[in-house]
Structure 1
Amino acid sequence: MELETVLYRVEGNVAIISMNRTKALNAMNKQIFVDLTTAFDAAESDSNVRVVIVNAEGRAFCAGGDIAEMKGLDNSEAVFDFYNIAGIFMKKMMNFAKPVITAAHGAIAGAGTSLLMAGDIALVSDDAFFMVAFGAVGLIPDCAGHWMLPRACGMHMAKELMMTQRQVKAPEMKELGLCNHVYPKDQLMDEAMKLATKIAKGPLNCYSSSKALMNKALETDLDTLLAEETEAQAAARMHANGEEGLGAFLEKRKANFQ
């Protein structure tokens, strides 16, 4: 697998997908969305991969969209193509069946904010800052930012961050619910790997099912969600992991999930 803007490797049961446009501070152009999609396809098809970590090389997680490339989109068809490719990837990442951890350092700006929030668990370094920077260049949040940001920090705060483009440093990111944990920069990937390795030992069929239910929880009514939850729980119970988990509990031993 040859990728121009992304590095892909597997360690144990964890796929590590690293953005690698370091000279551009990992600004997101059309190619990086294509390469990220290819990398996620590889992680999806590899049965050995049970968890994915998305991080970045260089000084920053992501400086946002590639301004020069976007400025060159001078007709509606080109603009639509760019954002359609971006949307295809974001939908794939947000709905990915396997657990996804984002591990970000330095600048997390523009489209990078969406990439951070698209993971199931977001970890950041103590030098990280989050900036919904679109208004500064006369654009609106993209890459599903309008969907994710209010869910992460509430509607009023989301609008403030959108309208002011202010920097939110790592401690406040945690306070607002934009990340789960903050770590020293030199410990970020070690902590991400510890967490990924722990999750990889769990019942992935359950995690996948719960992810799907949580993603739609705010768009459905209680009766519908309960019906889908009941159906999913029945499937979990009849899965080999359900049999193993219940048996291990009764036998007072550690479960060995598939």
Structure 2
Amino acid sequence: MFFLQVKTVDYVSVVTIVRPPANALSQELLQELSNLLESLENNRDSRVIVLRGEGRFFCAGADIKEFTALSNEDDYRQLAKKGQDVLQYIESYPKPIIAAIHGAALGGGLELAMSCHMRFVSETAKLGLPELQLGIIPGFAGTQRLPRYVGVGRACEMMLTSEPITGKEAVQAGLANAAYPEEELIDRVMEIASKISKKSPITVSAVLQLLKYANSDSFYKGIEKEAELFGNVFSSNDAKEGVAAFIEKRPPHFKGE
């Protein structure tokens, strides 16, 4: 594995994202995560998975430079669809996956965290979907999952302003389960994971299976439409300007084209 490390102790598997400096969510990283989860799915020594990031961040966003290698609307649509499929696999996983978020979970990083069954955060963590700042939109089901947790109005505010919220605010909004001082975060998450690991794997899997029914048909229609519009938006001049401005570290100048 290039970007992930895994250590399993007492039925808890800690999966660490290692892609410095920001643990950016690339297509390779997503595929590697999917492959790793497939290998753990039938591993009887692994009952709970904790997903965390090494260094300063959980995952500070998608790998924007990777987008510049794509050339047409269909390429961008397929990129979104592949990301959505991996995150849907995570959300439907038969073992609990807990995100331990410190530093930042932005853009694709927050979309990854939202696909996990639980999210615990450091009090000062930054969580948000700032894609509109780059002239693009979320593409890994963020437009559908965020309103489910924080409500339509708050989700609209977060996406349209591109302003992140803190870990404490995420708990208040319903986006995270609990917030802890950063130095306590992983220990507290491991305590929770340990409690879950002592339950019957049969009952845990049954509850996770039943929770999937909370997603309505409109959710799946929504993520399909998101992938379509992700491709449409990415083919615009504004998207090209936004990505170029991000790479060049300057403010974007959008023209609505």
| TM-score after normalising by structure 2 | 0.80
Counterpart mapping for 1:38-77 below 5 A: 38-77=35-74
Mapped contact 1:124–1:181 kept (Cα < 8 A)? yes
Corresponding residue of 2:156? 159
Letter in 1 for 2:7: R
Give identity over the alignment, percent: 29
1:147-166 Cα offsets, whole Å, 9 max, x none, are: 21111011111111111111
Aligned counterpart in structure 1 of residue 198 of structure 2, from 198, 201, 224 = 201
Which shows bigger deviation, 44-53 or 83-92? Answer: 83-92
Please give the secondary structure, in 1, of the residue aligned with 2:163: coil
Corresponding residue of 1:22? 20
Mapped contact 1:18–1:55 kept (Cα < 8 A)? yes
Q: Could you tell me how far apart the structure 1 residues matched to 2:36 and 2:9 are?
A: 14
How far residue 77 of structure 1 moved from its aligned partner, in angstroms, is 4.4
Q: Could you tell me how far apart the structure 2 residues matched to 1:63 and 1:47 are?
A: 32
Question: Which one has a bigger Cα radius of gyration?
Answer: 1
* 1:92 pairs with 2:89: yes
Mapped contact 1:17–1:39 kept (Cα < 8 A)? no
User: Would you say how many aligned residue pairs link Structure 1 and Structure 2?
Assistant: 217
Letter in 2 for 1:30: Q
The CA RMSD measured in Å over matched residues stands at 1.5
Corresponding residue of 2:30? 33
How far residue 91 of structure 1 moved from its aligned partner, in angstroms, is 1.2
Please give the secondary structure, in 2, of the residue aligned with 1:22: coil
1:129-158 Cα offsets, whole Å, 9 max, x none, are: 112111111111122212211110111111
Please give the secondary structure, in 2, of the residue aligned with 1:47: coil
Corresponding residue of 1:185? 182
How far residue 218 of structure 1 moved from its aligned partner, in angstroms, is 4.9
1:197-253 Cα offsets, whole Å, 9 max, x none, are: 100111232222222322322527xxxxxxxxxxxxxxxxxxxxxxxxxxxxxxxxx
Please give the secondary structure, in 1, of the residue aligned with 2:169: helix
Q: Could you tell me how far apart the structure 2 residues matched to 1:128 and 1:19 are?
A: 17
Mapped contact 2:102–2:121 kept (Cα < 8 A)? yes
Please give the secondary structure, in 1, of the residue aligned with 2:194: helix
Aligned counterpart in structure 1 of residue 213 of structure 2, from 216, 220, 223 = 216
Mapped contact 2:12–2:194 kept (Cα < 8 A)? yes
Q: Could you tell me how far apart the structure 2 residues matched to 1:136 and 1:18 are?
A: 28
Greater RCO (CA < 8 Å, at least 6 residues apart): 2
Which shows bigger deviation, 77-86 or 118-127? Answer: 77-86
